[in-house]
C-alpha cells in the first residue's frame, strides 16, 4: 500500500535577480511533473545534485509548502529532521520548542507531559534545555530535533541530509534509530549526498535532476546512474557494446556488464605521489573526454597548475576493453587502481590461484601478497556464478610493470587490481569479459600453452 | 473545504490556546507592571486625550474622559491586535514551516491574546463606568457579545493583513500612516454627532466606527444595543472573517514560498 503518492506535482518559485541595479523576476521550477509512490514501511532515498529539488520534495511531503499543480496524498503523521530553522524558533528555549512542536504534532493530552519529559531526557542537553536554541551547537540542535522526531511516534520520518552534520556517535545513533523504525514498519524518506548510506539503508531510491524525476528503483542502479552523470559534462564519455558498458567520468572509470556493476563506486583511477608526499588521483584533474568513432574515447586531463597531465585512450570491443594510460609531469609512483566489487573473491594467474582473504581493517588497505612476476595475465572470478558476474582476464602489455592485488578496508569493501606504470610512465592493458567460466578456463589454458611455446603476450 | 478547515482548526484548539497564552506572556515579558499595563495604557491615553480636549480645546461634554475611555479601550484592542498579527507570519516563520497545523492559527492567536488583554483591562476599568452610571454594569453580557463580534472582525482583517505583509512588503512602510489616519477617522475622541454630513460619511464607511460607537453606547450612555445594531455588527464581522479567510486560503501556497 502506498503511503505517499505524488501525481504530476510541480512547484515553481519566483526568484528576484538583481544585476547592475536592474531587477528581474524569473520563474524557476523546483519540481516539474514529479510522479512516484512510496510504500508503507519502505526506506526511500532521494538523491541528486544541489538544487535538484530534493528539499522541495521533502517539504511538499511534510506539507510545509503547497504544490502549484498536481496532487499529493500523504497518509499518516509526518515528522521531519531538517536543517536548523524548520519548525524550531531560535528565540525559544529547547523546552518551549519541544512543547510547541509536541502540541503541533497533535500529541494526546493524557501522555503530553510525560512524553515531553521523555523527549527532554533523550535529548540529554543538561541545563541547555532551558536556553534559547540560538545558543545551541549544531550537534545539540540535532539531538533535540531527533529526540522530538522519534518520540512523537510518526508514521513517516523525513530526513534531510542532517545525518551528515553530526559526529560519528550521533550519526550512528541516527542510523540505528532509522533501522529500528524500519523494523517497526514505519516509512522513512532520506535525502543524502552520502551514497554509501543510501545504498545501505534504502529499499528504493529516486534520482532528481533539475526538478525532474530521472529514475527510480533499486538504490545501486539509481546511484550508478547518478554518479555517471554527475560532474563536469566535458569530462564524461559513455561507451556501450554487447552488454559491456564503460563510463569515463572526469578521471574515474566505471564498468558494468548487463546492468551489473563490476567496479565499485570508487571505480578505476590513476594515483600518483606528489612532490609534497601526498597522494593525488586522476579524479582531481580537469578532464576533457573526446569520443572517437568505433567505440573509442580519448581523455586528456591536467592538474590545475599544469604540473601533471594524463591521457587515457579507451577502446571497447565486443568482449574486451583496451586501455592505454600515460602520465607526464612532476610525480612519483604512478599506478592504476581498479576497484572491483567484493564479490570477485577468486584470483588466478597462469600458474597460481587463490582467494582474497576477508577484509581485515576498517579503512586500511591490505596487500594480499600475490607474486608480482606472474601478474601479466590475471583472472578474477566471483565465487557465485549464478549472480551473473562475468569472469575477468587482465593482460598487461608492458613487461616492466608490476601488478598487485589488494583488499581495501571494510568500508569500501573492494578487491583492487593495482597496475604500476612502466618506466616510461605509461601502461597498456586489456580486460576481457567471460560470462561463462568454461570459456575463461579454456582461454587461460591457451595462454599457458602459448607461454610454454615461448610466445609473447598479445595485447 | 471550509468545513474541513474548521474541523482541523477545532482539532488544533490546544495549539491555538498555547500560542495565545505565550503571546500574552511575551507581550509583557520582563516588564515590572506586567499585565497591569492592560489597565495603565488606556488610562494614560484617556487622561492625555482628556487634557488636550477639555483643557486645550475646551470640549464641553460631561464626563468626557469616560467617553474617550469607552472608545479607546476597544480601539487599542483593535489596533494592537492588528499590528501584532500583521507581523505574525514573519515572526512565527519557523512554526509555519512545520506544516502540520492550520496556519491561520498564527494571526488568530495574536488577536485572541489581545482579546484576553482587553478583558483584563476591562475588569479593572468597568468600576469607573459603573461609578458614573450604575446602569452600565447591567450590560456586561452585551459587552461580551460585542467583544466577541469585534474579535471576529479583527481576526478576519488579521488574516488579510498578515498575508499582505508577506506578499507585499510596502505594507510595512504604509502601516504607521494608515493606522494613524484610521485613528483620526474613527470617532474615539469626538462623537459622530459633532460631524456635519458630507464629512460624516467618512466615519460611517469606516467599519471600526460601528464597533466603537456600540461600546460608547453601552458604557457611556448606558443604553442597550438594538437588535438591528447587533445584526449589522454581526454582518460586518462575518464579512471580514469570510473575506480575510478567503484571501488567506487563496494565497496560502504563495505565502509559504515567500516566508
All residues of chain B having their beta carbon less than 8 Å from the beta carbon of residue A105 are 100
**Mutating which of A72, A83, A87 best tests the B interface, going by the most B Cβ atoms within 10 A?**
A87
pLDDT tens column, A135-178: 888 778 888 888 888 888 888 988 887 666 666 776 777 778 77
Q: What's the order of all strands across the beta sheet hosting A308-316?
A: A286-292, A296-302, A308-316, A320-329, A426-434, A391-396, A377-381, A346-348, A353-355
Q: Can you give the pLDDT at residue B110?
A: 92
Using CA atoms, how far apart are residues B240 and B160, in angstroms rounded to an integer?
9
All residues of chain A having their beta carbon less than 8 Å from the beta carbon of residue B253 are 65-68
Tell me what percent of the residues of chain A surpass a pLDDT of 90: 8
Using CA atoms, how far apart are residues A98 and B74, in angstroms rounded to an integer?
35
Size of interface A-B (CB pairs under 8 A): 65
Query: Alpha carbon of B240 to those of B4, B207, B227: distances in Å?
Result: 20, 10, 20
In the predicted model, is pLDDT for residue A85 greater than 60? no
C-alpha cell at A88: 524550531
Longest Cα separation, chain A: 88
Residue ranges of A 11-40 with Cβ closer than 8 A to chain B = 13-14
Inter-chain touch A65–B11, beta carbons under 8 Å: no
All residues of chain A having their beta carbon less than 8 Å from the beta carbon of residue B257 are 13-14, 65
C-alpha cell at B25: 506572556
All residues of chain A having their beta carbon less than 8 Å from the beta carbon of residue B256 are 64-66
In the predicted model, is pLDDT for residue A434 greater than 50? yes
pLDDT tens column, B146-175: 999 999 999 999 999 999 999 988 888 899
Inter-chain touch A106–B12, beta carbons under 8 Å: yes
> If DSSP codes are grouped into helix, strand and coil, which group holds residue A91?
coil
Q: Is A93 on the interface with B (CB under 8 A)?
A: no
Q: Can you give the pLDDT at residue A112?
A: 84
**Mutating which of B8, B12, B29, B257 best tests the A interface, going by the most A Cβ atoms within 10 A?**
B257
- Of A187, A185, A233, A249, the C-alpha closest to A45 is A187
pLDDT tens column, A2-28: 899 999 999 988 888 888 888 888 888
Q: Where are the beta strands (DSSP E) in A250-381?
A: 252-257, 260-261, 263-273, 279-281, 286-292, 296-302, 308-316, 320-329, 332-341, 346-348, 353-355, 366-367, 377-381
In this complex, which of A78, A103, A106 lies closest to B18 when CB atoms are compared? A103
Q: Is A134 on the interface with B (CB under 8 A)?
A: no
Inter-chain touch A109–B14, beta carbons under 8 Å: yes
Q: Can you give the pLDDT at residue A459?
A: 41
User: Could you report the predicted ipTM of this complex, rounded to two decimals?
Assistant: 0.73
Q: Can you give the pLDDT at residue A5?
A: 92
In the predicted model, is pLDDT for residue A53 greater than 80? yes
Which range has the worst mean pLDDT, A9-18, A25-34, B38-47?
B38-47
Is A93:A32 a contact under the CB 8 Å cutoff? no
pTM value?
Answer: 0.73
All residues of chain B having their beta carbon less than 8 Å from the beta carbon of residue A66 are 252-253, 256
Residue ranges of B 73-112 with Cβ closer than 8 A to chain A = 92-101
Amino acid at each position: 500500500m502506498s503511503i505517499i503518492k505524488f501525481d504530476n506535482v510541480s512547484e515553481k518559485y519566483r526568484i528576484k535577480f538583481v544585476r547592475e541595479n536592474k531587477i528581474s523576476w524569473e520563474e524557476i521550477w523546483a519540481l516539474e511533473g514529479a510522479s512516484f509512490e512510496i510504500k508503507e514501511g519502505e526506506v526511500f532515498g532521494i538523491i541528486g545534485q544541489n538544487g535538484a529539488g530534493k528539499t522541495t520534495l521533502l517539504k511538499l511531503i511534510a506539507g510545509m509548502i503547497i504544490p502549484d499543480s498536481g496532487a499529493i496524498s500523504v497518509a499518516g503523521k509526518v515528522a521531519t529532521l531538517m536543517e536548523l530553522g524548520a519548525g524550531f524558533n531560535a528565540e525559544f528555549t529547547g523546552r518551549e520548542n519541544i512543547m510547541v512542536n509536541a502540541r503541533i504534532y497533535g500529541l494526546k493530552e493524557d501522555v503530553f507531559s510525560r512524553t515531553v519529559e521523555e523527549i527532554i531526557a533523550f535529548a540529554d542537553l543538561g541545563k541547555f534545555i532551558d536556553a534559547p536554541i540560538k545558543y545551541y551547537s549544531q550537534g545539540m540542535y540535532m539531538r533535540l530535533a531527533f529526540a522530538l522526531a522519534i518520540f512523537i511516534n510518526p508514521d513517516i520520518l523525513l530526513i534531510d541530509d542532517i545525518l551528515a552534520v553530526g559526529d560519528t556517535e550521533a550519526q550512528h545513533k541516527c542510523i540505528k534509530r532509522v533501522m529500528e523504525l524500519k523494523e517497526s514498519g514505519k516509512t522513512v524518506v532520506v535525502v543524502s549526498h552520502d551514497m554509501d548510506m543510501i545504498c545501505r539503508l534504502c529499499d528504493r531510491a529516486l534520482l532528481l535532476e533539475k526538478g525532474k524525476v530521472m529514475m527510480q528503483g533499486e538504490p545501486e542502479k539509481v546511484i550508478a546512474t547518478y554518479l555517471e552523470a554527475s560532474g563536469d559534462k566535458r569530462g564524461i564519455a559513455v561507451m556501450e557494446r554487447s552488454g559491456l558498458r564503460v563510463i569515463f567520468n572526469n578521471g574515474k572509470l566505471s564498468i558494468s556488464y548487463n546492468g551489473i556493476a563490476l567496479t565499485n563506486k570508487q571505480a578505476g583511477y590513476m594515483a600518483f605521489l606528489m612532490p609534497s608526499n601526498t597522494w593525488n588521483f586522476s579524479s582531481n584533474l580537469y578532464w576533457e573526454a573526446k569520443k572517437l568513432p568505433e567505440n573509442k574515447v580519448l581523455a586528456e586531463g591536467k592538474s590545475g597548475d599544469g604540473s601533471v597531465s594524463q591521457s587515457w585512450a579507451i577502446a571497447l570491443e565486443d568482449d574486451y576493453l583496451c586501455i592505454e594510460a600515460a602520465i607526464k609531469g612532476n610525480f612519483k609512483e604512478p599506478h592504476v587502481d581498479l576497484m572491483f566489487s567484493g564479490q570477485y573473491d577468486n584470483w588466478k594467474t597462469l600458474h597460481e590461484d587463490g582467494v582474497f582473504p576477508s577484509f581485515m581493517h576498517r579503512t586500511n588497505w591490505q596487500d594480499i601478497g600475490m607474486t608480482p612476476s606472474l601478474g601479466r595475465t590475471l583472472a578474477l572470478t566471483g565465487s557465485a556464478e549464478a549472480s551473473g558476474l562475468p569472469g575477468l582476464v587482465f593482460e598487461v602489455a608492458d613487461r616492466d610493470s608490476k601488478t598487485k592485488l589488494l583488499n581495501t578496508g571494510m568500508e569500501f569493501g573492494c578487491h583492487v587490481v593495482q597496475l604500476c606504470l612502466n618506466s616510461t610512465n605509461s601502461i597498456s592493458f586489456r580486460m576481457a569479459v567471460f560470462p561463462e567460466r568454461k570459456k575463461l578456463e579454456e582461454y587461460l589454458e591457451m595462454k599457458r600453452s602459448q607461454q610454454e611455446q615461448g610466445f609473447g603476450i598479445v595485447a | 473545504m471550509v468545513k474541513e478547515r474548521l474541523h482541523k482548526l477545532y482539532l488544533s484548539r490546544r495549539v491555538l490556546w498555547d500560542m495565545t497564552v505565550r503571546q500574552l506572556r511575551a507581550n509583557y515579558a520582563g516588564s515590572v507592571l506586567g499585565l497591569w499595563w492592560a489597565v495603565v495604557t488606556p488610562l494614560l491615553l484617556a487622561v492625555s486625550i482628556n487634557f488636550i480636549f477639555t483643557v486645550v480645546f475646551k470640549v464641553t461634554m460631561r464626563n468626557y474622559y469616560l467617553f474617550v475611555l469607552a472608545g479607546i479601550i476597544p480601539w487599542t484592542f483593535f489596533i494592537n491586535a492588528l499590528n501584532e498579527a500583521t507581523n505574525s507570519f514573519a515572526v512565527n516563520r519557523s512554526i509555519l514551516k512545520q506544516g502540520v497545523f492550520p496556519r491561520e492559527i498564527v494571526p488568530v492567536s495574536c488577536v485572541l491574546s489581545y482579546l484576553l488583554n482587553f478583558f483584563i483591562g476591562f475588569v479593572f476599568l468597568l468600576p469607573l463606568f459603573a461609578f458614573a452610571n450604575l446602569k452600565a454594569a447591567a450590560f456586561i453580557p452585551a459587552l461580551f457579545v460585542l467583544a466577541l463580534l469585534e474579535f471576529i472582525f479583527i481576526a478576519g482583517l488579521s488574516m488579510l493583513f498578515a498575508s499582505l505583509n508577506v506578499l507585499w512588503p510596502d505594507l510595512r512602510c504604509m502601516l504607521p500612516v494608515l493606522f494613524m489616519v484610521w485613528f483620526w477617522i474613527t470617532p474615539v475622541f469626538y462623537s459622530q454627532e459633532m460631524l456635519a454630513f458630507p464629512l460624516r460619511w467618512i466615519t460611517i464607511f469606516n467599519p471600526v466606527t460601528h464597533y466603537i460607537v456600540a461600546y460608547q453606547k453601552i458604557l457611556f450612555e448606558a443604553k442597550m444595543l438594538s437588535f438591528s445594531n447587533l445584526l449589522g455588527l454581526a454582518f460586518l464581522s462575518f464579512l471580514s472573517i469570510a473575506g480575510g479567510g478567503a484571501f488567506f486560503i487563496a494565497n496560502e501556497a504563495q505565502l509559504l514560498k515567500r516566508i
